[in-house]
Amino acid sequence: MDFELTWFPSHLDVPAAVDVDAALSETVDYWTRWGEHCRQDGDYGGAVKRSLLVLRALTHYQTGGIVAAPTTSLPEDFRGSRNWDYRYCWLRDAALTLEAMLTHGYESEALKWRNWLLRALAGDPEDIQIMYGVAGERDLPEKELRHLPGYQNSKPVRIGNAAVDQYQADVVGEVMVALERLRLAGGKEDSFSWALQQALLGYVEKHFDDKDCGLWEIRGTAEYFTHSRVMMWAAFDCGVRAVRDHGMSGPIKRWEELCERLRAEIMDQGFNRELKSFTQTYGGRHVDAALLVLPQVGFLAYDDENMLGTVALLEKELLTEEGLLMRYRTETGIDGLEPGEHPFLACSFWLVEQYARAGRWAEATRLMDMLLGFSNELGLLSEEYAVKESRMAGNYPQAFSHLALVRAADAMHRVDRLSLAVQKTA
Whole-number pLDDT of residue 121: 80
DSSP 209: T
DSSP 3-state of 412: helix
Is residue 27 in some structural domain?
no
Task: Cite the DSSP H helix spans in 160-319.
Answer: 171-184, 191-206, 226-246, 252-269, 305-318
- pTM of the full structure: 0.94
Dist CA 162 CA 313 (whole Å): 32
Is residue 26 in some structural domain?
no
Dist CA 287 CA 307 (whole Å): 12
- Report mean pLDDT in 10-residue bins for the chain, 426 residues: 74 89 94 89 93 95 90 92 94 92 88 82 86 92 95 94 96 95 86 90 97 96 98 98 95 98 98 98 97 97 98 97 95 89 96 98 98 97 95 96 98 79 40
Dist CA 362 CA 242 (whole Å): 38
Whole-number pLDDT of residue 4: 66
- Rg, C-alpha atoms of the chain: 21
Provide the Cα torsion 202, 204, 210, 214; round to 10°.
160
Is residue 236 in some structural domain?
yes
Is residue 40 in some structural domain?
no
Return the number of other C-beta atoms located less than 10 Å from residue 86's C-beta: 23
Whole-number pLDDT of residue 339: 87
Whole-number pLDDT of residue 426: 35
What's the total number of domains in the chain? 1
Dist CA 236 CA 253 (whole Å): 11
My answer on whether omega of the bond before 9 falls inside 30° of 0, hence cis, is: no
Which residues constitute the domain of residue 213?
49-415
Is residue 19 in some structural domain?
no
Is residue 9 in some structural domain?
no
Is residue 12 in some structural domain?
no
Identity of the residue numbered 88: Y
Whole-number pLDDT of residue 81: 87
Task: Tell me the CATH number at 88.
Answer: 1.50.10.10
Whole-number pLDDT of residue 219: 93
Whole-number pLDDT of residue 111: 82
Whole-number pLDDT of residue 410: 96
Is residue 240 in some structural domain?
yes
